[in-house]
Structure formats: structure tokens, C-alpha cells
């Protein structure tokens, strides 16, 4: 989703989580990969063979 250019708010809505949670996950990914922005993170993912997780299937809303 990050590589697709989605912002934190869009990701949060699609996954049914808070914007702060998305930001924390993004921050953790940047720190763990040693990247500084979304473009570098996407490049890292391609270089290391990451693929789309579950084809970015939309999750059913919690009831």
C-alpha cells in the first residue's frame, strides 16, 4: 500500500485501524530496513523479493 502511494489515512481506512497505528508500522518498517522514505522502502522491498501480501485483499469490517 505504501509502494502504491497510499497515505496513512487511506491505509487506515482500508485496513480498519487507526492512522497512528499505520504511522507506527511505517516508522518501524523504515527503521528496520534503514530506509528514509516510502520510495526507498518500496525499492528495498523489490530488491529483497517481497511481494504483495495476500494481494492486498480488503479485510472485512469488524462487527
pLDDT number for residue 62:
55
Is there a domain that residue 61 lies in? no
Which of 8-12, 28-32, 57-61 is the least confident region? Answer: 57-61
By C-alpha distance, which of 33, 2, 30, 28 is closest to 15?
A: 2
pLDDT number for residue 50:
82
Residue 22: alpha-carbon gap to chain centroid: 7
What is the rounded distance in angstroms from the CA atom of residue 44 to the CA atom of residue 16? 26
pLDDT number for residue 58:
55
The domain in which residue 43 lies consists of: 8-56
How far is CA 7 from each of CA 2, 17, 49, 61, 63, rounded to the nearest angstrom? 7, 13, 23, 20, 25
Is there a domain that residue 47 lies in? yes
* Domains contained in the chain, number: 1
Amino acid at each position: 500500500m505504501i509502494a502504491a502511494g497510499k497515505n496513512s489515512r487511506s491505509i487506515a481506512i482500508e485496513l480498519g485501524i487507526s492512522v497512528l497505528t499505520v504511522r507506527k508500522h511505517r516508522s518501524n518498517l523504515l527503521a528496520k530496513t534503514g530506509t528514509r522514505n516510502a520510495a526507498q522502502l518500496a525499492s528495498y522491498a523489490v530488491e529483497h523479493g517481497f511481494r504483495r501480501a495476500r494481494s492486498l485483499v480488503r479485510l472485512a469490517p469488524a462487527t
